[in-house]
Amino acid sequence: MNPEQIEFNKLLSQNQKEASIKACLRAGDDKLKCSGKIIHAHSIQRGKILESIADVSGENEGKIYHLGLAPAEDMQSMQPEFKLQGIKKFSTFTGFCGDHDKAIFQPIEDVAFSATTKQLNIYAYRAAAKELHSILESKAFYEVLLGDKLNVNDFPPHIQMMLPQIKSGEIKVPDFILETMLQEEAKHQIRVLHMQCGHSISELQQICDDLTDAIEREESLGFEHVYHVLDGAFLVACCASFIPYFDHDGSRIISKQEEQRMARSSAASNAEIKNVMLNVFPEGDKTHVIFTFSKGNQSFKASIERLLKLEDEALKIGLSNIVLNYVENSAYGPKYINDNFSPEQIKHIAEVFAVSAFDRSKFRRSGINLFVGRPTATTQ
C-alpha cells in the first residue's frame, strides 16, 4: 500500500468515525425500554448463518468473503474485490440496544425457520433497519464532508449549464476558475446525495414502523412476501433493502420518469414505496429466498413471478443477477467461491457488483450462477 493510500484510508476512517450513528432505532418503543447499551448487532445471523458459511479450517477459518471496493494503486479509481472478514464483525451495525435486539429477533435466531408470517416480517424488518441505519450514517457522512458549506449553494444554475461546455473546451476560462467550478460541482453533488438520503430515510422509517406493527399483529398488512426455496444449502447469504430499477434480466421495471421523480421526493404512502427487502440464507439443507415489498409495488411482483417461472439454472442466474446488482451486504464461503469459480469468473463477479455499487440506477446482466457446485452447509 503506497503512502497516498495510507493517507486516504486514514482520512476516510476519521470521517466515517465522525459520521457513525450509535442509537437504538426502537428507542421510542413504549412496550420495551432501551437498555441504553448499543451493541454491534448482526444483520446476517452469526450463529445460524455466518458460522455455516465461513471456512471451518485453514487460513480462512472463521472468515467469510464479501464484495467491496478498494482504492486502485494509482488512487485514481476504486476497484471491486472479494474481501475476507471474520464473522464476529461482518454485517454488524450499531442500530439497536441489547434488549431490543434480543426481543425483536429471537423468533428467527432461537427457533428453526419455518416461514411463518412473523418470521418473514422479522427478516424483512432487519433488512430495512440495516439499510435505514446505513443511510443515516451516509447522511451524517455527507454533513461531515460539507461542514459549514452544507446549506451554501455556490453552484448556481447558469454555471451548471455552462460547465459541460467548459469541460469540453468549447468555452475557455482560466484554469483557476475551472478548478473552483469543479470543486463547487463536487459539493453540489454531495448536497444532492444528502437530500436523497433524507427521502430514503423517510421511506425506510415508514417501512420499519409498518413492519413493527405487522410483527406485533403477526400479519403482513401492507406488505407481500414471496418465499422460494432452493434445494441444497448453498454458502451464500444476504440481507438487504434496495430499489430495483431493473428486473433479473436487465429490463426496466421503474421508468426513467419515475426514477427522476423518486430522486426529487419521498413516497407519499406505503403503496408508493418501491423498496424491496431481500434475505437469502442456508438453513436445514435448503437455501431460503425471501422477497418483501409493498402490496402496491405490482411491477416488482410481476417481475418476480416471471423469475420464478424459469427453469432451475435460469432462475439461479436471475437471482444471482439481482444479488450482484443490488446487494452490498452479502456473504460467501471463501472455499465455496474458490472451489466453484475460476479466477476469471471471480473477477467477473466483482465487476458486475461494481456497476451498481458506483451507480445504483445501472444494471449489468451476467450469466454467472452463484448457487452452484455441491452444497455443503449443514445448518440446523
Reported as a single tens digit per residue, the pLDDT across 210-223 is 999 999 998 888 99
- Neighbouring CB atoms inside 10 A of 145's CB total 17
Rounded Cα distance, 264 and 138, in Å: 18
Residues 6+ apart with CB under 8 A from 332: 53, 64, 65, 66, 82, 235, 236, 370
Contact 281, 228 (CB under 8 A): no
Query: Which residue has cell 476504486?
Result: 78
pLDDT at residue 109 in the model? 94
- Neighbouring CB atoms inside 10 A of 60's CB total 17
Residues of the chain with pLDDT below 70 are 1-2, 4-6, 8, 30-31, 75, 374-380
Strand, coil or helix: what is 1? coil
Residues 6+ apart with CB under 8 A from 361: 245, 259
Rounded Cα distance, 322 and 25, in Å: 28
All 3 cell numbers of residue 194?
Answer: 444528502
All 3 cell numbers of residue 260?
Answer: 427522476
pLDDT at residue 377 in the model? 43
pLDDT at residue 234 in the model? 97
Beta strands per DSSP E along 232-342: 236-242, 276-283, 286-294, 330-332
Residue 290 C-beta-side C-alpha neighbours within 13 Å:
30
Rounded Cα distance, 144 and 141, in Å: 5
Element (H, E) at 95: strand 92-97
DSSP calls for 97-129 = EHHHHHHHHHHHHSS-----HHHHHHHHHHHHH
Cα dihedral 25, 30, 34, 38, rounded to 10, equals 0
Strand, coil or helix: what is 135? helix
pLDDT at residue 30 in the model? 65
Distances (CA, A) of 333 to 124, 202, 254, 291, 374: 23, 35, 33, 22, 13
Strand, coil or helix: what is 365? coil
pLDDT at residue 379 in the model? 38
CB burial class (10 A; 0-12, 13-18, 19+) of residue 104?
buried
All 3 cell numbers of residue 33?
Answer: 425500554
pLDDT at residue 173 in the model? 92
All 3 cell numbers of residue 46?
Answer: 452469526
Q: What angle do CA 13, 14, 17 make, to 5 degrees?
A: 85
Name the nearest CA neighbour of 378 among 287, 279, 316. Answer: 287
Contact 317, 367 (CB under 8 A): yes
